[in-house]
């Protein structure tokens, strides 16, 4: 066997190892009910949930509460299956939060509440409007 | 209403597209024709075509900038990304705030580099410029904004579209000549010094990677397997330096404006440009190895092709909207996914097919490089760099993987690792050791020589 063959085998082995370990660490996009089941089954791995903020008829975001310490807050999010869930976030409200069109929260359930470690916002709102300000 | 400037701009877009196709064809004929007189005729054609193309690109840039600078809010681009309060230097940022403008920036650098190549490298002019002009044709098609009749298929998204055509607001049916008094303004996050200089630097880096790719394809095409490395290497070095600088500037911008408290957040958009840079650095090393000791030619060819394909892949990731749920700052979907895929697969297929056809003829050194040679250790280092890139590429591609699996009817909802910083930095720290060892091995073997 030539040395270059051994080298190629080592490289391929490393690539496979990378894929396997990545699969291990990969998170998933789930709904709140699936996330709840996973957490009840003892799976504490953070997962992604995609959804929107709860809004009233006139389009104002409802359900945002500042935490007692003023540097955390909670909000109500509706996932793609329509399930409402109160989400806690241990940091101040991100800029543009209420303007966001879509929210991705990354975190886990603890009891009945979802704790987000990270929030991704999609806010094309201001920059992708369908009406003109006259 | 200022119709003239928009029509002129759109005319320049179409001119640049047609000129790029004509240039590609002329240079193709110049490369393949054996008759010297014929060849020179096609060369003159190609050169004239490329100059016309470059002139048209400059025309597009100037038209778009005039629209932004003069606050013509009847145009969608000016209305959506600027307002009257914006300081003059941020009007430049407005220029590349939209996808169309950033495509334009990329085309502009290609046009500049193309002219430099025409004047500095007579021997390689025809085949290299064939590739250049083909790339330019694809890029111009992205901002073409033409709807094909009969099948009603839209090609590209023009930056010169009028506001009334872009937005379905009822005011335009009542008052078609309505011009908003002020624009929407530039995204406050982009009103930052780094956003004035980061995109041009990054796109110059992007553009520079096309040069070694073109030389590599030209070398395979003309069967000059050894000769392409010499003119390509300086350009790879330029691309590595400029792209690296552009990435650093982006990191600094993120540090100042996005409040995640770091220079690098392993966001898919950041990863998408980091991976080609790693492979680019690996390719520089194998090319230098080849220049010095005639080994690693095949590896150089594979890596140089990979760099450009990865650049196209990163363009697809950031601009097709596929990263929607995974990234905080990808562009929104303009409906160009099909065109972007076509762009990527065209060059992927051409490059791979050409390399495959010529593979047997590519010279490779007979003797095995010794375990104690510096070539071997540089090669190990380059491989580790590629593996590091691969490790970042896999999770970054999850959204694409999900889409592909769903397309074939399966269920896939993979998300990037929740703790991105932890995940990504754990692994590159480990390959960091082999790279350091490879460097040490190289250093020791050098002393031994």
- Domains belonging to chain A, first-starting first, are 27-127 (2.40.50.140)
Q: Taking CB atoms and an 8 Å cutoff, what residues of chain A touch B395?
A: 22, 25-26
pTM equals 0.88
Per-residue confidence band for A125, with pLDDT thresholds at 50, 70 and 90: very low
CA B264 to chain centre: 21
Q: Taking CB atoms and an 8 Å cutoff, what residues of chain A touch B383?
A: 7, 11
- Mean pLDDT value across residues B423-437: 73
CA distance A94 to chain B (A): 9
Among candidate residues A127, A133, A123, the one with its CA nearest the CA of residue B169: A133
> Dihedrals φ, ψ of B366, to 5°?
-75, -40
DSSP state of B178: -
Are B79 and B32 a contacting pair, CB within 8 Å? no
B335-356 residues labelled b (16+ CB within 10 A) or e (exposed)? ebeebbeebbeebbeebeebbe
Segment B187-245, tens digit of pLDDT: 777 888 888 899 999 999 999 999 999 999 999 999 999 999 999 999 999 999 999 99
Residue A39 pLDDT exceeds 80? yes
Report d(CA B344, CA B336) in Å as an integer.
Answer: 12
Residue A69 burial by CB count (10 A; 0-12/13-18/19+): exposed, middle or buried? Answer: exposed
Highest mean pLDDT among A66-70, B37-41, B250-254: B37-41
> In angstroms, what CA-CA distances link B286 with A71, A113, A114, B218, B357?
52, 54, 50, 19, 22
Residues 6+ apart with CB under 8 A from B267: B327, B328, B329, B420
Segment B56-84, tens digit of pLDDT: 999 999 999 999 999 999 999 998 888 88
Higher-confidence residue of B158 and B366: namely B158
- Mean pLDDT value across residues B330-348: 83
Partner-chain contact A22 B324, CB within 8 Å: no
Residue A77: strand, helix, or coil: strand
Residue A32: strand, helix, or coil: helix
Per-residue confidence band for B293, with pLDDT thresholds at 50, 70 and 90: confident
B244-264 residues labelled b (16+ CB within 10 A) or e (exposed)? bbbbebbbebbbebeeeeeeb
A-B contacts at Cβ under 8 angstroms: 96
CA distance B12 to chain A (A): 27
Partner-chain contact A25 B169, CB within 8 Å: no
pLDDT of residue B447: 57
CA distance A80 to chain B (A): 13
pLDDT of residue B275: 95
pLDDT of residue A128: 44
pLDDT of residue A129: 46
Q: Mean pLDDT for chain B? A: 88
ipTM over 0.85: no
pLDDT of residue B259: 61
Higher-confidence residue of B302 and B380: namely B302
Question: Which chain A residue lies closest to B395 (C-alpha atoms)?
Answer: A22
Per-residue confidence band for B246, with pLDDT thresholds at 50, 70 and 90: very high
> Dihedrals φ, ψ of A42, to 5°?
90, 5
pLDDT of residue B164: 86
Which residues of chain A have a Cβ shorter than 8 Å from any chain B Cβ?
Answer: 2-4, 7, 11, 14-15, 18-19, 21-22, 25-30, 45-48, 50, 94-95, 102, 104, 106-107, 117-118, 120-122, 124, 126-134
Cα dihedral value B299, B303, B304, B309, nearest 10: 150
Among candidate residues B214, B251, B269, B220, the one with its CA nearest the CA of residue B236: B214
Report d(CA A120, CA A114) in Å as an integer.
Answer: 15
Per-residue confidence band for A126, with pLDDT thresholds at 50, 70 and 90: very low
């Amino acid at each position: 066997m030539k040395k270059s063959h051994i080298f190629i085998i080592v490289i391929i082995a490393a690539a496979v190892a990378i894929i396997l370990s990545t699969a291990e660490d990969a998170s998933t996009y789930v709904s709140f009910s699936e996330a709840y089941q996973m957490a009840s089954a003892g799976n504490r791995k953070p997962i992604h949930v995609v959804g929107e903020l709860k809004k009233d008829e006139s389009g104002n975001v409802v359900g945002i509460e500042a935490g007692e310490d003023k540097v955390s807050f909670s909000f109500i999010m509706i996932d793609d299956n329509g399930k409402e869930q109160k989400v806690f976030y241990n940091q101040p409200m991100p800029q543009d939060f209420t303007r966001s069109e879509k929210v991705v929260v990354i975190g886990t359930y603890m009891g009945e509440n979802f704790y987000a470690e990270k929030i991704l916002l999609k806010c094309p709102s201001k920059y992708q409007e369908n009406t003109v300000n006259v | 209403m200022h119709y003239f400037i928009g029509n002129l701009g759109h005319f320049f877009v179409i001119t640049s597209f047609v000129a790029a196709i004509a240039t590609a064809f002329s240079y193709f004929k110049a490369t393949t024709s054996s008759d010297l007189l014929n060849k020179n005729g096609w060369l003159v054609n190609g050169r004239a075509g490329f100059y016309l193309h470059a002139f048209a690109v400059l025309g597009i840039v100037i038209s778009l900038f005039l629209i932004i600078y003069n606050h013509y809010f009847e145009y969608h681009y000016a209305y959506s990304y600027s307002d009257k309060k914006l300081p003059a230097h941020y009007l430049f940022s407005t220029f590349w705030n939209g996808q169309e403008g950033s495509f334009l920036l990329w085309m502009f650098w290609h046009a500049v580099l193309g002219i430099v190549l025409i004047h500095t490298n007579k021997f390689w002019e025809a085949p290299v410029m064939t590739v250049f002009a083909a790339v330019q044709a694809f890029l111009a098609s992205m901002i073409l904004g033409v709807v094909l009749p009969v099948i009603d298929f839209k090609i590209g998204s023009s930056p010169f579209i009028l506001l009334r055509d872009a937005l379905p607001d009822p005011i335009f049916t009542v008052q078609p000549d309505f011009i908003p008094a002020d624009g929407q303004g530039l995204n406050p996050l982009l009103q930052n010094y780094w956003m004035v200089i980061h995109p041009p630097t990054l796109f110059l880096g992007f553009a520079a990677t096309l040069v070694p790719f073109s030389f590599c394809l030209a070398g395979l095409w003309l069967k000059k397997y050894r000769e392409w490395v010499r003119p390509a290497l300086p350009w790879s070095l330029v691309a590595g330096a400029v792209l690296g600088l552009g990435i650093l500037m982006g990191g600094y911008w993120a540090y100042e404006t996005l409040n995640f408290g770091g220079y690098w957040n392993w966001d898919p958009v950041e990863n998408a440009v980091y991976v080609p840079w790693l492979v680019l650095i690996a390719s520089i090393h194998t090319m230098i190895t080849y220049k010095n000791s005639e080994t690693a030619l095949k590896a150089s060819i594979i890596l140089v092709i990979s760099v450009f394909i990865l650049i196209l892949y990163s363009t697809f990731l950031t601009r097709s909207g596929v990263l929607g749920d995974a990234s905080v700052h990808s562009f929104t979907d303009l409906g160009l996914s099909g065109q972007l895929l076509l762009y990527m697969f065209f060059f992927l297929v051409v490059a791979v097919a050409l390399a495959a056809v010529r593979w047997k003829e590519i010279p490779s050194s007979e003797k095995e490089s010794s375990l104690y040679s510096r070539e071997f250790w540089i090669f190990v280092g380059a491989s580790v760099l590629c593996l590091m890139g691969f490790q970042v590429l896999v999770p970054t591609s999850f959204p694409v993987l999900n889409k592909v699996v769903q397309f074939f009817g399966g269920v896939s909802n993979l998300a990037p690792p929740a703790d991105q910083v932890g995940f990504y930095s754990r692994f590159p720290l480990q390959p960091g050791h082999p790279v350091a060892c490879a460097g040490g091995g190289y250093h020791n073997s050098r002393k031994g020589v």
